[in-house]
Amino acid sequence: MIKYPYSRQNITKKDINAVTKALKSRYITQGTEVENLEKELAEVMGSKFAIIVNSGTAALHISYHILGVDKDNGVITSPITFLSTANAGALLNSPVYFTDVDHKTGLMTCDTLSDSLETIKSNIGLVVPVHLAGRACDMVGINKEARKRGMHIVEDASHAPLAEYSNNKGNKYKVGACKHSDITIMSFHAIKHIAMGEGGVILTNNKSYADKAKRLRSHGIIRESKLWTGIAAEKNAPWYYEMQDIGWNYRATEIQCALGRSQLSLIHKSLYKRNIIANKYNKLLSNIDGISLPCRSSNNENHSYHLYAIAIDFDVLKKTRISIINALLKKGIGTQVHYIPLFFQPYYSADMNNYPGAVKYYNSTLSIPMYIGLKTEDIKYISNAIINVIYE
């Protein structure tokens, strides 16, 4: 039995009460909870607009479509990410390319992006940096590199709400405010910082993108009469609507958004607790031969710690990752690997020799339990178990 999974949602009485209230309301979809969550998210994240959808994947899919991704307009992203970051491009029949990453942080950098773009001859219109484990990319450098080539930018911030990065003058920027991107997306999957079971958000400072995203999440339907162009349009007709662009059913329910609002109200407390847990792990696992603690990039000011991913030198320890995972499992400790590089997937198959940083990161990484329910004695138990397992 896994007593300590690598991650776990934290549901409070306040959350349960919020969901119960939504269930008893007049509408359980397309009501005020969605609108209220959007307003609150924009305020907390620092963007002008927030558009709620039913998953992070939906947020990516809509965002890519808005920014012109198609069969002639490719996407480039990090291979150290979940499938959806690339799949959203594939769903639009777009070519998908990868950059290498820093082997310590797992992040796309300005240099890895530049190196990859120099070797790709096809047209690429969109760059998608992935903030990994709660650690922010160098968005200032990536923005500069992408913009000089005329490319749009979508930040995949599913792991990193309110993480911070800085420029060379020490100015700090918040992930979610879209200061160096066209759009930032986040996931509200069950084990994310804001848990809705399933859910996601599109954050942007561009009103045109926001308006289009709202239409696309609901089949592309337009209800504003001033925008109608169809031959059957009747001014002020209360029943009429029209579709001018393909859309999808990517709506989230009132129930999900009530839970999301309650969870959002605790986001700062959650981030504070995650950093405390990380600091305790840092003290207990520092100076252990064969283990490297999560590394921050030089411009990473504030870590959101969605994951606590250590790097293990399996060759030095003369152990395999599988043996360590199984030994910890016997002690009730769950772990995970984030992520299998996407170029190892048959669908995206590519030469691993082009991505030495990603391969090195993957070969050493292991995510150990990180969630706000962990107590000091739990962290001590997990840390001691890890040390015992690698040296037994």
Query: b/e string for 324-349 if b means 16 or more Cβ within 10 A?
Result: bbebbeebebbbbebbebbbbeeebe
Q: What is the pLDDT of residues 52-68, one digit of tens each?
A: 999 999 999 999 999 99
The pLDDT assigned to 121 comes to 83
Q: What is the pLDDT of residues 7-21, one digit of tens each?
A: 999 999 999 999 999
Any idea which fold 13-264 has? Answer: Aspartate Aminotransferase; domain 2 (3.40.640)
Q: Which CATH superfamily is 267-391 part of?
A: Aspartate Aminotransferase, domain 1 (3.90.1150.10)
The pLDDT assigned to 57 comes to 98
The pLDDT assigned to 287 comes to 92
On the question of pLDDT at 127 being above 70, the answer is yes
In total, the chain counts a number of residues equal to: 392
Distances (CA, A) of 310 to 290, 293, 307, 365, 388: 10, 5, 9, 6, 16
Distances (CA, A) of 192 to 84, 222, 271: 15, 32, 11
**Inter-residue contact 98 to 78 (CB < 8 Å):** yes
The pLDDT assigned to 235 comes to 81
Share of the chain above pLDDT 90, in %: 95
Q: What mean pLDDT value characterizes the chain?
A: 96
On the question of pLDDT at 387 being above 70, the answer is yes
The pLDDT assigned to 295 comes to 85
Distance CA 202, CA 56 (A): 9
Mean pLDDT computed over 174-186: 98
Distance CA 32, CA 203 (A): 19
The pLDDT assigned to 1 comes to 85
**Structure tokens of 70?**
């198609």
The pLDDT assigned to 392 comes to 82
The pLDDT assigned to 297 comes to 66
The pLDDT assigned to 300 comes to 64
The pLDDT assigned to 35 comes to 97
The pLDDT assigned to 298 comes to 64
Q: What is the pLDDT of residues 265-275, one digit of tens each?
A: 999 999 999 99
In the chain, where the domains are located: 13-264, 267-391
Query: Among positive and negative, which fits the CA dihedral 218, 219, 220, 225?
Result: negative
Distance CA 299, CA 273 (A): 22
The pLDDT assigned to 291 comes to 96
Q: What is the pLDDT of residues 227-261, one digit of tens each?
A: 999 999 988 889 999 999 999 999 999 999 999 99
Gyration radius of the chain's alpha carbons = 22
**Inter-residue contact 274 to 134 (CB < 8 Å):** yes
On the question of pLDDT at 299 being above 80, the answer is no
